[in-house]
Structure 1
Amino acid sequence: MSIRPLSAALALLLASLPAAAQQPAPAPAPEATATATDEIALREGRELSQLFLQGDTDAVWARMAPSMQAAMGDAAALAKFRAQVTGDLGEEEAVLDESAAQAEGAHVYVRTSRWSKLPVPVLMQWAVDDAGKVAGFLVQPRPEAAPSPYLDYQTRSHLRLPFDGQWYVFWGGHDIEQNYHAASPGQRFAYDLVKRVDGSSHRGDGRALEDYYCWNETILAPAAGTVLEAVDGLPDQAIGSRDTSHIAGNHVMLDLGNGEYALLAHMRQGSVVVKAGDKVNPGDELGRCGNSGNTSEPHLHFHLQDAPVFGQGNGLPAFFEHYTADGKAVERGEPVQGQVIAPTGGTTPR
């Protein structure tokens, strides 16, 4: 559910890292020659990895961006994280592959390694912004997409985007490279959506919830349906904290008919305007975008599933109608990570 996911075994430390920079993408072999635009990421990533692995977390901390330090808390937390990593995974034994690339607003380094205590490869990832500061850092067992009986499924409901205006697809798509949710059967095709200006999801250093462009934006019903569940009383989490006991936070679950159920999660406390049993039409207000539940920053989590209870059943692909993706008209399609999407105002059947 979190826009910046937590590994079940470890922890994921991310700040203002562009979505494209967070992809756990397959990497070429180490001997592959990096292009000129990759050299910064390759050099910085190798150096930061070495510092972290050797335990020089003070040096790593000194190179972190303010937003990253805010998410971490202090240098002691980084040292504790490093101890947790080595305690759970052991020591890095061999680098299996690595890659370096320039993503939007960041130089990204990815390495996949074999560690002494884990039978599966481990992914380590660094993103360095244009100022030379660490904007993102990840260590986790390399995930795989969950099997699904619905890979070729076509949505039966007529879906509109659940908001007005332009939003950015932070996570979305069928592949694990585009969408970390794909590792979970129930959230197999889920979306995390934010608003961005000049490549950032927030103003300033992003320490306050109000700094985020999607904060308090209106969340709309994606189709005609019946409200099965509406939760509204959970607090919005401060940046750097999460509520792992209430994964979806304040949310609305809709029965769209035809065995399709929609979850819209992480709404602002006190903003949900519907209740169980209400009938809604496409475009009706459900609540406001917030930061409740297991989330690292304000965003909208949306997914379809084949069961009426969150945490049960399988995720379903969500085909939306009448929208634009990066300025191009789409009559019906599935948005993917990195796209800027907006409804066009076309007619969606009720």
Structure 2
Amino acid sequence: MTFAVTRTIAVVSFLALLSVGCGASTDSPAASTTAAGRGDVTSSVVDALTPLIGSVPFAPIPFAGSDGKTHLVYELWVTNFTSADLVVNNVKVLDAGSDRIVGDFAGEAVRQRLQPAGSREGVDHLEPGQSAMVFIHLDLTEDAVPASLVHQVEVTGEAIPPKKNPLTERIGAATVDQRTLQVLSAPVLGQRYIAVDGCCDAQWHTRAVLPINGQASIAQRYAIDYEQADEQGRVFAGDPADPANYAIYGNEVLAVADGTVVDTRNDLPEQTPGSFPTGIPLAEADGNFVVLDIGDGFYVNYAHMQPGSVRPAAGEKVTRGDVIGLVGNTGNTLVPHLHIHVMDGPSPLAAQGLPYLVDRFSITGQVVDKAAFEHSEVLGAPLATQPGVTPTDHTDQLVLDLNIVTFAP
């Protein structure tokens, strides 16, 4: 009973304050004001209480995808600053310079992208005091990429005055990061590689938010798990518990650029395919790995290699195309594959993921969807692929989710 009374008072108090604040921002024109005790202060902005606050902690970086479009992938952090639920009705992404809409998410699209901190489940509302991320992916033509963005979010809730409910806020201003991207060579060579859990809407990597060292990081924002199919389109043939029966197992892993080895591990045993291991310490999640510093603030992480196969040691230089290890099944892994991602620091986890481009590859097919791939991965059945995909050659683009690619020597 005490909680209910306290909560009601809190809601009413916020309603009163919000009414004053929102009334000032909506009904009063921008004007010069003088604040007593602070000297003369002239401002064109009228302060207003905002029940939803938000920011973009890591600016979006545009990159060319294998679909010919320019992509921006980033997160809008939002917090419900009221004592009642807020329903997020829609999120619009605007060109901050012109208010042109470049992204519009409503209804189920919001639910698919709004994910509370610490949860992997999407929601359409925020509980009192709750923080969440809106995972945003924009695919645009190159000439349509704005210089800066702002977000227009419509919310509904009982803590908003009736005359202003629903309420639309502008939050999360961000400047688009136009840095020059690294152009890398292939990490493996051969045919029928599948880019699993790649950019930009697959959730396993793109939404892998980790609370590391007091910060929320998504080092794997652009990560890819490369698996491979045999000539019959199967990921494995024979006993699925034997790593050697997977098409990719034992393939050479190559340096994608000239660089300096920052860190490695080479002593962890193979896992039995078919299920994730339990009790894996954070330090062993990548299994046997190599981290390369390739310059200009870009680092490359290779994970899950065979025990004893990692060739370079920390501090050594490698040249583009050098063999640095063999594909294995070590660490936190389900089946043999090569995990690769690029980040802005030497830690594979405590960093922000960066996009990159692959210098040349061919797309020879496209897996129908994640469910179809998992069916093949579990049963060893031939991959279900989209019909009518014509093989195409690509240069200086990022391989996208479920592309089937050839990396030629």
- Name the CA distance, whole Å, in 2 between partners of 1:221 and 1:256: 10
Quote how far apart the aligned CAs of 1:171 are. Answer: 1.6
Q: Identity, % of aligned pairs?
A: 30
State the partner residue of 1:18.
none
TM-score normalised by length of structure 1: 0.55
1:242 to 243, 264, 277: 277
Q: Say if 2:355 is the partner of 1:314.
A: no
- Structure 1 unaligned segments of length 5 or more: list them: 1-95, 98-110, 112-117, 123-142, 346-350
Q: SS at the partner of 2:205?
A: helix
Q: Say whether the 8 Å CA contact 1:156–1:258 is kept in structure 2.
A: no
TM-score normalised by length of structure 2: 0.47
State the partner residue of 2:398.
334
Q: Say whether the 8 Å CA contact 1:171–1:180 is kept in structure 2.
A: yes
State the partner residue of 1:164.
189
2:309 to 263, 271, 277: 271
Q: Say whether the 8 Å CA contact 2:190–2:408 is kept in structure 1.
A: no
Quote how far apart the aligned CAs of 1:282 are. Answer: 1.0
Give a deviation string over 1:19-78, Cα, whole Å, max 9, x none. Answer: xxxxxxxxxxxxxxxxxxxxxxxxxxxxxxxxxxxxxxxxxxxxxxxxxxxxxxxxxxxx
Q: SS at the partner of 2:219?
A: helix
Q: Say whether the 8 Å CA contact 2:289–2:305 is kept in structure 1.
A: yes
CA 1:259–1:341 in 2, change beyond 3 Å: closer, same or farther?
same
Q: SS at the partner of 1:186?
A: coil
State the partner residue of 2:266.
232
Q: Say whether the 8 Å CA contact 1:145–1:183 is kept in structure 2.
A: yes
State the partner residue of 2:333.
295
Quote how far apart the aligned CAs of 1:120 are. Answer: 5.3
Report matched runs for 1:1-20 at 5 Å: none
Quote how far apart the aligned CAs of 1:230 are. Answer: 1.3
State the partner residue of 2:223.
190
CA 1:181–1:241 in 2, change beyond 3 Å: closer, same or farther?
closer
Quote how far apart the aligned CAs of 1:154 are. Answer: 5.9
CA 1:289–1:155 in 2, change beyond 3 Å: closer, same or farther?
farther
Give a deviation string over 1:241-297, Cα, whole Å, max 9, x none. Answer: 426211100000000000000000000001001101111111100000000000000
Q: Which amino acid aligns with 2:399?
A: P
Q: Say if 2:204 is the partner of 1:174.
A: no
State the partner residue of 1:74.
none
CA 1:329–1:120 in 2, change beyond 3 Å: closer, same or farther?
closer
2:363 to 311, 318, 325: 325
Q: Say whether the 8 Å CA contact 1:223–1:283 is kept in structure 2.
A: yes
Q: Say if 2:234 is the partner of 1:208.
A: no
- Name the CA distance, whole Å, in 2 between partners of 1:179 and 1:318: 19
Q: Which amino acid aligns with 2:206?
A: A
Give a deviation string over 1:291-330, Cα, whole Å, max 9, x none. Answer: 0000000000000000111211200012111211223111
CA 1:144–1:238 in 2, change beyond 3 Å: closer, same or farther?
farther
CA 1:325–1:312 in 2, change beyond 3 Å: closer, same or farther?
same
Q: Say whether the 8 Å CA contact 2:285–2:332 is kept in structure 1.
A: yes
Quote how far apart the aligned CAs of 1:205 are. Answer: 4.2
Q: Which moved more, 1:164-173 or 1:281-290?
A: 164-173
Structure with higher strand content: 2
- Name the CA distance, whole Å, in 1 between partners of 2:407 and 2:176: 25
- Name the CA distance, whole Å, in 2 between partners of 1:255 and 1:282: 12
State the partner residue of 1:65.
none
2:253 to 199, 205, 219: 219
State the partner residue of 1:256.
294
- Name the CA distance, whole Å, in 1 between partners of 2:120 and 2:302: 36
Structure with bigger RCO (C-alpha 8 Å, 6+ apart): 1
Number of aligned residue pairs: give it: 211
Q: SS at the partner of 2:190?
A: coil
Q: Which amino acid aligns with 1:221?
A: A
Q: SS at the partner of 2:135?
A: coil
Q: SS at the partner of 1:316?
A: coil
CA 1:230–1:146 in 2, change beyond 3 Å: closer, same or farther?
farther
Report matched runs for 1:29-48 at 5 Å: none
CA 1:324–1:174 in 2, change beyond 3 Å: closer, same or farther?
same
Quote how far apart the aligned CAs of 1:224 are. Answer: 0.7
CA 1:196–1:298 in 2, change beyond 3 Å: closer, same or farther?
same
